[in-house]
Structure formats: C-alpha cells, structure tokens
Amino acid sequence: GAVVSQHPSRVICKSGTSVKIECRSLDFQATTMFWYRQFPKQSLMLMATSNEGSKATYEQGVEKDKFLINHASLTLSTLTVTSAHPEDSSFYICSAPPTGGYEQYFGPGTRLTVT
Amino acid sequence: LAKTTQPISMDSYEGQEVNITCSHNNIATNDYITWYQQFPSQGPRFIIQGYKTKVTNEVASLFIPADRKSSTLSLPRVSLSDTAVYYCLVGDNNFNKFYFGSGTKLNVKP
C-alpha cells in the first residue's frame, strides 16, 4: 500500500521555540493532506486540512497562527508549531488520500514534548 | 458528517471471533464506512471499507445492513497482536475530512 512518512518521529523542544513536522507521501501524490493531534488515551482530533498551493483550512478552535501549515508540493506538507508551550505536547499525525484514490493513508506520527 | 458510536472497550480471548458494532444513524447516501486499527504511538492503519452488504478481505469482514445505520467489523480468530483501538469512520470518497469517534479498545487475552 501507499506510504506516508513523518519526520521527525519524536522531538523535544523548549517552551517558546518553534518546531516543524514534515509529512510526505512517498509513492503517490496528494493534493490534500490532513493533520491530527492525539493526546494520551484519547481519540484523534482533526486540526486542519492542508491544500497544495493554497491556504490550509483549520477546524474550529485551532489557532492558525500557532499551527502554521504549508503544502508546497504534491508530496509534502509541513506543520510548524510556533511558540510551543507544554500544553502543545502531543502526538501529531498526518494523513493523505492519493489523488484519484479512496483510502486515507496515515503517517506514523510525531511525538512532540515541550519542556 | 455522520457521527459514529462504538463501545468504549471489549475483551476477548485468543482464537475467538470478535465483532465490533458501530452506529451511524445519520449516514448520508454518498458515505462509505471505513475501519481503522491503531496501536499505541502509531498512526491508524486501514482495515476495511464498505458501502453496503458484506465486504471481506484477508484480515476482516465488514457487515452493513440494508439501512446502513450501523456496521459490524468482524475479526476472525483474534490473537494477542490484535489488541488495539479500532475506529469506525463514515465519510464520502471525495476526501472529505474524517472525524474520529472514541473508538473501541479491544483487549485480547491469552
């Protein structure tokens, strides 16, 4: 099946710094990608939809100035957590449906810890 | 998007068949039903997708009644490695967003 990768797999940063997480579709193109956040023992929460060549659309309650999304190519979307705080510590997961396909493929996730 | 309701948790023993039911009373005509499996600290993994009646693949079967207001994921002869959270999602295939429900935590015991 199709593969979605994320980098880094885990990152620790200091409060107030920014962290960038990459999501790549390795063997297919994706005009749309999705970003989720998952806290321990909770379900995935959709944060935003990343659209290639245009602005991301954010779910209600998600601060777009804090979670910057860039979808610069058909295989790469990035999520930047700006001015990170300990409450941003979470598991961030991206997903992508192949163009013309019907199934969403999920990345392995990125564990962010803000100290 | 149709909201889904699943049992929070289920217990089973190795070798048993497990059936997890999901309710989606407000499913739309264009919506498909998709099930994912998630292990701790990993991204969800696709299990099976269907629109109506029955779908079977190498790992599971999906049963959907005629009114499509519910669906049942059937896992034959589970093993310890099937211990995971299982999510039922409903959405159309125009790559609309997936909103995850609470999922079902399946605990397989030896």
Q: 3-class DSSP state for residue B78?
A: coil
C-alpha distances (whole Å) from A17 to each of A49, A68, A82, A94, B100 are 24, 14, 7, 22, 30
pLDDT tens series, chain A, 115 aa: 679 999 999 999 999 999 999 999 998 888 899 999 999 999 999 999 998 888 999 999 999 999 999 998 999 999 999 999 999 999 999 999 876 666 789 999 999 999 9
Q: Given this model, what pLDDT does residue A59 score?
A: 93
Q: Given this model, what pLDDT does residue B93 score?
A: 62
Q: Given this model, what pLDDT does residue A70 score?
A: 92
Tell me which chain A residues have a C-beta less than 8 angstroms from the C-beta of B98.
34, 46, 95, 104
C-alpha distances (whole Å) from A16 to each of A69, B12, B45, B85 are 18, 46, 33, 34
Q: Is the peptide bond before A8 cis (omega within 30 degrees of 0)?
A: yes
Q: What is the pLDDT of residues B72-110, one digit of tens each?
A: 999 999 999 999 999 999 887 665 677 888 999 999 999
Question: Length of chain A in residues, anyone?
Answer: 115
Q: What is the pLDDT of residues B46-59, one digit of tens each?
A: 999 999 999 999 99
Q: Given this model, what pLDDT does residue A102 score?
A: 64
Cβ of A103 within 8 Å of Cβ of B46? The answer is: yes
Q: Given this model, what pLDDT does residue A100 score?
A: 64
- What mean pLDDT comes out for the span B30-58? 94
Tell me which chain B residues have a C-beta less than 8 angstroms from the C-beta of A91.
41
Which of A25, A31, A39, A43 to substitute to test the interface with B, most B CBs within 10 Å? A43
Q: Given this model, what pLDDT does residue B94 score?
A: 62
Question: Which of A84, A77, A73, A81 is CA-nearest to residue A56?
Answer: A77
- Name all contacts of A88-91 with Cβ < 8 Å and 24+ positions apart: A88/A112, A88/A114, A89/A113, A89/A114, A90/A37, A90/A38, A90/A39, A91/A37, A91/A38, A91/A39, A91/B41
Could you identify the residue written with the tokens 């990459």? A22
Is residue A94 within 8 Å of residue A47, measured between CB atoms?
no
Cβ of B93 within 8 Å of Cβ of A102? The answer is: yes
